[in-house]
């Protein structure tokens, strides 16, 4: 058992002791920033609504600061760590917990459905709870959502700017294709803002904890999901352009412009509006009309 088993990992002193003992140096390429504030960790775990009847998947456990808090609340915790140097550290820091497993690998390459079948099949409710590295935040979140994993919640610490974009509403400066994509799959809210000062090393920007309550089904019905997201991305391609100019520049040929104008009017969307003013319902209506009109090959 660890000699520090009775002390939280997420304190400046204990974190320093662990890093010095193992001679650990941070890899900038892996976006490693470790939390040293237990109150914030408690708030993250609380937002995930964990109980011993539920399980948690963590991405990037680091030296185990958040992991140990998860182990105290959840029935089982599986952490995915890409940095092999951290495996012996986790073995020591989490020795007191028999409900912890670590998987060495890249979350973007792992078969997460298989991981859940192999390690968490006894649990009906599973949450992903993590302090995500900034440089791969969006790919990780979209993988978790698009693969339709059996998740209840995704509660993650990410760059504040990205959290604001995920939770943004139509008409705001932060609203974009990421907002629509995240809200298609989940109900989103920024749970708390976290200052840079509670990390080592200290990042250049503030962070935020975002909670995504995964939907059983999307809030809108779309005839073709791939087309829906194509329309969304095209509509935001150049923010200063009108909807009609973005759609014609990105999806349709110039000679189709008049057809697209008429199509927009049929679904009661003014062609001169900008993409960031459209709600998810309007994007669904628009993409369904495009699908029905067979305007695209």
The DSSP-derived string for 127-173 is EEEEE--GGGHHHHHHHHHHTT-S-SEEEEEEEHHHHHHHHPPTTST
| Domain boundaries along the sequence of the chain | 12-214, 225-293
- Span 206-213, mean pLDDT? 96
Closest residue by Cα to residue 192 from 41, 64, 90: 41
Would you state the pLDDT for residue 213? 98
- pLDDT above 50 (res 4): no
* Tokens at 110, concatenated: 């792992």
Binding-site annotation, residues: 33, 35, 60, 81, 106, 131
pLDDT class of 115 with cuts at 50, 70, 90: very high
Binding-site annotation, residues for S-adenosyl-L-methionine: 33, 35, 60, 81, 106, 131
Prediction pTM value = 0.92
Distance from C-alpha of 116 to C-alpha of 179, rounded to nearest angstrom: 27
Residues 6+ apart with CB under 8 A from 146: 185
Whole-number Cα distances in Å, 146 to 50, 149, 151, 161, 263? 23, 8, 12, 22, 29
Domain 12-214 in CATH 1.10.3720.10? The answer is: no
Burial of 206 (0-12, 13-18, 19+ CB in 10 A): middle
Would you state the pLDDT for residue 2? 43
b/e per residue, 41-80, with b = 16+ CB within 10 A?
beebbebbebeeebbbbbbbbbbbbbbbbbbebbbbbbbb
Distance from C-alpha of 227 to C-alpha of 278, rounded to nearest angstrom: 16
Distance from C-alpha of 271 to C-alpha of 151, rounded to nearest angstrom: 38
Burial of 142 (0-12, 13-18, 19+ CB in 10 A): middle
Name the 3-class secondary structure at 228.
helix
DSSP letter for 272, please: T
Lowest mean pLDDT among 23-32, 145-154, 208-217, 281-290: 23-32
The 10 Å Cβ neighbour count of residue 282 is 18
Same fold, 12-214 and 225-293: no
**pLDDT digits 0-9 by tens, 16-52:** 999 999 988 877 766 678 888 999 999 999 999 999 9
* Tokens at 189, concatenated: 């809210």
Residue 271: which H helix or E strand, with range?
A: none
DSSP letter for 276, please: G
Would you state the pLDDT for residue 74? 98
What is the CATH number assigned to the segment(s) 225-293? 1.10.8.100
């Amino acid at each position: 058992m660890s000699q520090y088993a009775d002390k939280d990992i997420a304190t400046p002193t204990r974190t320093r002791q662990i890093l010095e003992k193992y001679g650990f140096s941070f890899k900038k390429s892996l976006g490693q920033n470790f939390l040293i504030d237990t109150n914030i960790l408690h708030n993250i775990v609380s937002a995930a609504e964990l109980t011993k009847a539920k399980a948690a998947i963590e991405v990037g456990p680091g030296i185990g600061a958040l992991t140990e808090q998860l182990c105290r609340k959840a029935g089982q915790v599986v952490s995915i760590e890409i940095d092999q140097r951290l495996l012996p550290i986790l073995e020591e820091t989490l020795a007191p917990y028999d409900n912890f497993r670590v998987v060495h690998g890249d979350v973007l390459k792992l078969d997460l459905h298989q991981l859940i079948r192999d390690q968490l099949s006894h649990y009906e409710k599973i949450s992903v709870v993590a302090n995500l590295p900034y440089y791969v935040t969006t790919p990780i979140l979209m993988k978790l959502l698009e693969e339709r994993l059996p998740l209840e919640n995704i509660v993650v610490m990410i760059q504040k700017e990205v959290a604001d974009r995920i939770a943004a509403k139509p008409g705001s400066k932060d609203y974009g294709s990421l907002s629509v994509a995240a809200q298609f799959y989940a109900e989103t809210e920024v749970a708390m803002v976290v200052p840079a000062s509670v990390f080592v090393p200290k990042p250049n920007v503030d962070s935020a904890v975002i909670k995504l309550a995964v939907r059983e089904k999307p809030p809108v019905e779309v005839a073709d999901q791939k087309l829906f997201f194509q329309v969304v991305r095209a509509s935001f391609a150049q923010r200063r352009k009108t909807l009609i100019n973005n759609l014609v520049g990105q999806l349709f040929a110039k000679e189709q412009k008049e057809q697209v104008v008429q199509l927009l009017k049929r679904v009661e969307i003014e062609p001169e509006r900008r993409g960031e003013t459209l709600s998810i319902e309007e994007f669904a209506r628009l993409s369904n009309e495009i699908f029905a009109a067979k305007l695209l090959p």
